Amino acid sequence: MEGPINFTVLPRLARKTPTRILFLVMDGLGGCLGKGPTALQASKHPNLDALAARSALGRTIQVLDGITPGSGPGHLALFGYDPLTVDVGRGLLEALGVGADVGPGDVAIRGNLCTVDAEGRVVDRRAGRIPTSQARPLIRQLAEAIPAIDDVMVEFHAGLQHRFAVVLRGPELGPDVDDTDSGEIGRPILSAYARNGAAARTASIADQITRLAQETLAGREVANAVLLRGFAARPEILSYRELAKLSGVAIAAYPAYRGVARLLGMHIVDTIEPGCPVRDEVDALTDVWGDDYDFYFLHVKGTDSAGEDGDLARKAQVIEEVDEQLPRLLALEPDVIVVTGDHATPAPLRAHSWHGVPTILHGPWCEPDAETTFDEEACQRGRLGARLPATALLRLALANAGKLVKYGA
Amino acid sequence: MEGPINFTVLPRLARKTPTRILFLVMDGLGGCLGKGPTALQASKHPNLDALAARSALGRTIQVLDGITPGSGPGHLALFGYDPLTVDVGRGLLEALGVGADVGPGDVAIRGNLCTVDAEGRVVDRRAGRIPTSQARPLIRQLAEAIPAIDDVMVEFHAGLQHRFAVVLRGPELGPDVDDTDSGEIGRPILSAYARNGAAARTASIADQITRLAQETLAGREVANAVLLRGFAARPEILSYRELAKLSGVAIAAYPAYRGVARLLGMHIVDTIEPGCPVRDEVDALTDVWGDDYDFYFLHVKGTDSAGEDGDLARKAQVIEEVDEQLPRLLALEPDVIVVTGDHATPAPLRAHSWHGVPTILHGPWCEPDAETTFDEEACQRGRLGARLPATALLRLALANAGKLVKYGA
């Protein structure tokens, strides 16, 4: 919507101050009006309502009207980065998210342990969602069996359940390789297809990994092969410090969100576990709250998962869980608090969507609305507008926190 | 407003599905608030109101705030093409619209039969709006008399009344030539002026056409000369299929609108006549409704003509005529229906204008407004916003039709 204008403006105007900004991001928060109550409308959240009453409200568009954001683009937009300009592949987010280092020239890949039959056909793309504790030793085996191919170092990093990441490090690697995962069962693992000459070597190495992994895991009934997906390089991108002079910290349990935060140079709190209660995340936030950081990213996953399952009641419940914890967040006295999502995930749609994301902006100069509740309708009427580019939120937060000098004399 | 971003995003995200989208375009639909009732406000349109009540409303800006669109740019924007990037000359639209083929390197020109006096001064720029049936034989005479000039083929195509199109086909032709029509009466036909060297040959050929046409038509009292206007080349442009994987069909009676649709590769229904009742157009739409197409463009001209004549009552009447036919359109059960215009033509202004165009977006995930009427005021308050870039409409329609996958992982 706005393009990469923040890259031009913010580095010139941002200044370091002691004020603190908190972004409370409920993944997939938004719903679609006109399909019965949304999860925000179906839940009781008196604390969010009270905050909304002294805040400015709006609905954000992350990419463009009508375009449904994936998690990567959705978060990048929230953090002020134009997702149409910054191309971040999923392999990169997963790799960064599980703690891998990905440098310039490296290629990051997202992997699945999968199960193939005797003819090499994929019968389970996720190896029965093998528990993390069982998957880790297998990934260790792969790491030991495949430390390098030719002069390219191959790094394996275990993730959650069947998921892992691979980083290729060496000369002449290009990221433009199609997935080896056809996305269907009953079909063989695909050859890695290089979309251009620069990626030919990466594709050849990927095919060798596929073969060597099957040899290494041979004899197993499940989790006896790997699928490689989301080949990606690290884009040149301003860090959060370079963009806005912010020292950021992320409280996020899942790899992809940690990956986005790490890409921007935020510190990652790695003590929380996927599926943990929101209370644990707020505990972790409270622990790091202080002078080390001035930007706090708190990510709540449950709203999105419930939305994708079509479970409105559970989505509403997660919102209520967040609402219960809100007073603890407010007690930390952040100078600015933004409550929003990275995209909508309407439960009736059971998928991400393009609808505007309900958003609260609270800060000393936020111009509160007359609204007294937090839902899509109130946000639709709010001062921030019904179609606020998400990339504007960071600017508004910085402004409210007194972190931006004026533009021009 | 948005630039050519659709060209980047849509080819990646669009997918073929069986859902169908209908764009009902009332030319010049919008009015200007504060000048008495607009045509929408002055007319009774219970069916449009009922549709509005279960739809999202807004006002679209086709080019930029304050910029009045011509018919070409207005429609291009509606179809998702940034009119500031895609330069489509009127000559091209007229030529395509009357069925001519215009290839790369060709120059298309829009012509008028006109009347000059003994001294060669233009006394009627439209030859008394000579009836089509009388004009056709004259255009045939010209075609026979001027099949080529040097190594350039000259193709004549009759249009409506005094209008015709010329296509020049040959080497070294450039389109940047000024009209030979001064736009005034009592002045001579102008020499064709080449705005750059690449157009010098085109200008010279145009001057020869002017001369040869006058020789061919010599002795006639009216329609004894030609004016050449809107010299244009065919731009490189993604077809609708390339842009959005859409198979489009246009139900439009007038050449310029057929021309835009043909430029994008839509099929043209050529059985309807200019000035026919809206019912005939809906008949034609019903005939082609089915599995061959997933994008239907229905163009109603009468609203614009009435607006340009300053005839509010007639404009209101055309809206009522459309309203009567709306149930037949809805009975076809389009998955998504957009009701809009290509620009405003406020009757008090008697001309196209820059004001936001009242727009209805109806689809399964459109988030209906609380409004229960279809007019500029309701659309101003609507969810789509009072200044929605018209180029966003296609994306919203595609999204509602389930034709877009998400952006990024």
Residue ranges of domains in chain A: 5-88+238-400, 93-232
User: Within 10 A of A176 (CB to CB), how many other CB atoms are there?
Assistant: 19
pLDDT at B409 over 80: no
| CATH fold of the domain at A5-88+238-400 | Alkaline Phosphatase, subunit A (3.40.720)
Nearest CA to CA, how far is A60 from chain B (Å)?
13
Instruction: Please answer yes or no on whether A89 and B2 come within 8 Å at the CB atom.
Output: no
Residues B297-316: tens digit of each pLDDT: 999 999 999 999 999 999 99
Residue A86 pLDDT > 70, yes or no?
yes
Whether B27 has a pLDDT exceeding 90, the answer reads: yes
Chain B closest-CA separation from residue A173 CA (Å): 22
- Whole-number Å distance between alpha carbons of B316 and B313: 5
Rounded to the nearest angstrom, the minimum Cα separation between A70 and chain B is: 5
d(CA B75, CA B215): 38
User: Quick one: pLDDT band at residue A147, thresholds 50, 70, 90?
Assistant: very high
Q: Given an 8 Å threshold on Cβ–Cβ distance, is A66 in contact with B404?
A: yes
- A·B CB contacts under 8 A: 86
Query: How far is it, in rounded angstroms, from Cα B239 to Cα B218?
Result: 43
CB B188 within 8 A of CB B122: yes
Q: Span A174-196, mean pLDDT?
A: 95
pLDDT (average), residues B112-124? 96
The verdict on A93 touching B (C-beta cutoff 8 Å) is: yes
Can you give the pLDDT at residue A38?
Answer: 98
**End-to-end Cα separation, chain B, in angstroms:** 27
Is A67 in CB contact (< 8 Å) with chain B? yes
Q: What is the pLDDT of residues A371-389, one digit of tens each?
A: 999 999 999 999 999 999 9
The CATH class of the B93-232 domain is alpha beta
Residues 6+ apart with CB under 8 A from B270: B99, B258
pLDDT bin (cut points 50, 70, 90) of residue A2 is confident
H/E segment holding residue B127: none
A386 in contact with chain B, both atoms CB, cutoff 8 A: yes
Q: Which residue of A has its CA nearest to B407?
A: A69
Q: Is B404 on the interface with A (CB under 8 A)?
A: yes
Tens of pLDDT, residues B143-188: 999 999 999 999 999 999 999 999 999 999 999 999 999 999 999 9
* Among chain A residues, CA nearest to B361: A66
Put simply, the chain B residues between 46 and 65 with a CB less than 8 A from any chain A CB are 54
Which of B57, B379, B407 should one mutate to test binding to chain A, selecting the residue with the greatest count of A CBs within 10 A?
A: B407
- Cα separation, A29 vs B315, whole angstroms: 44
Instruction: Point out the residue among B367, B383, B406 whose CB comes nearest to the CB of A69.
Output: B406
A68 CB neighbours in chain B (<8 A) are 399, 404-407
How confident is the model at residue A71, as a pLDDT? Answer: 93
- Give pLDDT, residue B1: 62
> What span, in angstroms and rounded, lies between the C-alpha atoms of A40 and A174?
44
pLDDT in tens, B193-202: 999 999 999 9
Span A329-336, average pLDDT: 98
Q: Which amino acid is at B239?
A: S
Give the nearest chain B residue to A73 (CA atoms). B408
- What pLDDT is attached to residue A1? 62
**Residue B180 CA to its chain's centroid (Å):** 23
Phi, psi dihedrals of residue A147, rounded to the nearest 5°: -75, -25
Distance in angstroms (rounded) separating the CA atoms of residues B358 and B339: 8
Residue A186, chain B, CB below 8 Å: the answer is no
A 279-338: CB under 8 A from B: none
> Region A282-287: what's the mean pLDDT?
98
Q: Per-residue pLDDT tens for B318-342?
A: 999 999 999 999 999 999 999 999 9
Where are the extended beta strands (E) located within B246-303? 248-251, 267-268, 295-300
For chain B, percent of residues with pLDDT exceeding 90: 98
Judge whether residue A126 has pLDDT over 90. yes
Using a CB-CB cut-off of 8 Å, the residues of chain A touching B409 are 70-72, 89-90, 93, 230, 256
Q: Mind listing the pLDDT tens digit for each residue in B153-165?
A: 999 999 999 999 9
Buried b (16+ CB within 10 A) or exposed e, A348-364: bbebbbbbbbbbbbbbe
Range from A50-54, A342-346, B233-237 carrying the lowest mean pLDDT? B233-237
Any CB–CB contact under 8 A between B385 and chain A?
Answer: yes
> Taking CB atoms and an 8 Å cutoff, what residues of chain B touch A353?
365, 399
A31 vs A302: CA distance, rounded Å = 14
- What is the enclosing helix (H) or strand (E) of A180? none
Mean pLDDT over residues A350-357, rounded? 98
Considering the entire predicted model, what is its pTM?
Answer: 0.94
Contact (Cβ atoms closer than 8 angstroms) between residue B174 and residue B191: no
Task: State the smallest CA–CA distance between residue B407 and chain A in angstroms.
Answer: 5
- Selecting from A70, A88, A93 the residue whose C-beta is nearest the C-beta of B406 gives A70
Q: Are residues B395 and A65, on separate chains, in Cβ contact within 8 Å?
A: yes
- Indicate yes or no: CB of A83 within 8 angstroms of CB of B408: yes
- Chain A nearest-CA distance from B53, in A, is 11
